[in-house]
Structure 1
Amino acid sequence: MKQQLVISALGEDRPGIVEELSHTVLEAGCNVEDSRMTVLGGEFAVLLLVSGNWAGIAKLEDALDRLAAEAGLTLVHKRTAPRPPAADRLPYAVDVVALDHPGIVYQLAHFFSERNINIEDMVTSSYAAAHTGAPMFSVHMVVEIPADTHIAALREEFLDFCDELNLDAVMEPVKG
């Protein structure tokens, strides 16, 4: 029976980290099913969803402890189960751009949390505006909206919320 393991790794950015992690997974007889990797400041961060049989996952758990010590990584791993399909939820993409200021992520998360809307995925970034150099902030997220929600009313409420906070936003169904 297929087992799953979620792995979080954090360490000083350098060439070879992905190779070391993926080699460790392969040597245990497991497979990387899903991943997110990025460099934040001077640190490399990765989330992996790995699958394998029971023995392979157990072997990988032991190997990860050794890899953490040898490679100077902070590693956390946890067994998980496949997520059941959300038949009663509709995936929507939300994109927000604004002048950077504290609290944008919290305000967006609070808006959706109050309405029982799960944030499935989120990516944020800060950058300088092209011509002015003003500090900008962008958020891309995928949310799962309960199927019984009146989408037009939610979209209008969300756009009004964003207007009050001076956030430029779009909410549309995930395509594909």
Structure 2
Amino acid sequence: MSQHLVLSFIGDDQPGLVERLSETITRHHGNWLESRMAHLADKFAGILTLSVPLAYQDALINELKDFDKIGLHVTVEIANSASEEMETLSLSVVANDRPGIVQEVSQVLHALLVNVKELSTTCEPAPMSSDMLFRTDMVLSIPKSLPLNELESALENISSDLMVELT
């Protein structure tokens, strides 16, 4: 029997970190499943999901905690299986950049019992002007009972410059 683990990590960026993580996981018979990693503000940060046989779980977790010695702080969480059936959809939001957009969007999602599964954001110059545009792309889990037009309407009510696309 296997257990799913979710690792999050951050540390000073340096060559070989992904190799060290993957080698450690493989040595403990773990299987690397999903991951997102990025260089952000001089730090290397990421999250990954893996499965590991129960017999190797404790040894793997202990070795991952030792990554602090090389400057990579690793946090390990044991994953639980989801119980409620939800629908998955993608959401893109584009607006003139200003403080609070993520908070406003996430507040609407929370009020409608929508769960954010993935989130990425960027700021970039608007075409034909020097104004900055904020863009967020999300993968959401929504209750099957929530009509999409209700979700779209609630998001569009945040601001007149907010462009919403659900797929």
TM-score by length of 1: 0.86
* Cα displacement (A) at 1:165: 4.7
For structure 2, list consecutive stretches of 5 or more residues without a partner in the other structure: none
Correspondence 1:111 to 2:108 = yes
* Cα displacement (A) at 1:130: 4.6
**Partner of residue 135, structure 2:** 138
Q: Deviations over 1:8-33 (max 9, x none)?
A: 11011222111111111111111111
For structure 1, list consecutive stretches of 5 or more residues without a partner in the other structure: none
Structure 1 residues 98 and 111: CA distance shift in structure 2, 3 A: same
* Cα displacement (A) at 1:93: 1.1
Q: Deviations over 1:43-62 (max 9, x none)?
A: 11111111111122111111
Correspondence 1:102 to 2:138 = no
Paired residue secondary structure (2:99): coil
- How far, CA to CA, are the matches of 1:33 and 1:128 in structure 2? 35
**Partner of residue 53, structure 2:** 53
CA-atom RMSD in angstroms: 1.8
CA contact (8 A) 1:6 1:80 kept: yes
- How far, CA to CA, are the matches of 1:38 and 1:15 in structure 2? 13
Q: Deviations over 1:74-120 (max 9, x none)?
A: 11112223334x43x22121101122111000000001111111112
4+ residue segments displaced more than 4 Å: none
> May I ask how many residue pairs the two structures share in their alignment?
167
CA contact (8 A) 1:9 1:47 kept: yes
Identity of aligned residues (%): 28
Paired residue secondary structure (1:102): coil
- How far, CA to CA, are the matches of 2:150 and 2:65 in structure 1? 50
**Partner of residue 75, structure 2:** 76
TM-score by length of 2: 0.90
CA contact (8 A) 1:4 1:57 kept: no
- How far, CA to CA, are the matches of 1:113 and 1:77 in structure 2? 26
Structure 1 residues 153 and 3: CA distance shift in structure 2, 3 A: closer
- How far, CA to CA, are the matches of 1:141 and 1:57 in structure 2? 31
